[in-house]
Amino acid sequence: MKNYYSYNIKTICILIVEDNGYVVEIAFAKKEIEGNEKETDVIKQAAAQLEEYFAGKRQSFDFPINLQGSEFQKRVWVALQNIPYGELRTYKQIAEKIGNSKASRAVGMANNKNPLPIVVPCHRVTGSNGKLIGYAYGLDMKAYLIDIEKNAAGLL
């Protein structure tokens, strides 16, 4: 049975979903979830680390996660986790990284289905011209997350 709990971090509503001791979803909005509204230890750990991230004090996460998606999506999500904090890559670079240079559009679709934004940093992916495109939570949120990282890394 899934457990979920919502937090307000930096005025952003963040919903964290846990299933069998693993965080399986993070969303930037309240939504209907089948399960119990319960603040478990894993959810608390994830919330604390996300709060540190938004404060510019955390660059990686170590709470347990379970990525649920197709094999292709999982390959993309693993590649995203290898993008260094504060750096950006293009959809094409990610497609090349997973061994299919013509899969830029499919990489974008996998990003759109990413159940663990921030932890699996799909916000670090841009169009080939370096412009911000395609973020499930809007380009303002994508720019905000990139700015947090660039400020914390001293790149702005």
- Region of residue 146 (left: phi > 0; alpha: psi -120 to 50; beta: else): alpha
* Contact (CB, 8 A) for 110 and 73: yes
Residue 88 to residue 83: CA distance in whole angstroms: 7
Please report, as a single letter, which amino acid is at residue 42.
V
Look at strands 22-27 and 12-19 and give their pairing.
antiparallel
Residue 99 to residue 32: CA distance in whole angstroms: 37
* Contact (CB, 8 A) for 116 and 81: no
Phi and psi at residue 42, to the nearest 5°: -65, -40
Q: Which of 27, 107, 110, 122 is catalytic?
A: 122
122 is catalytic: yes
Residues labelled as active-site residues: 122
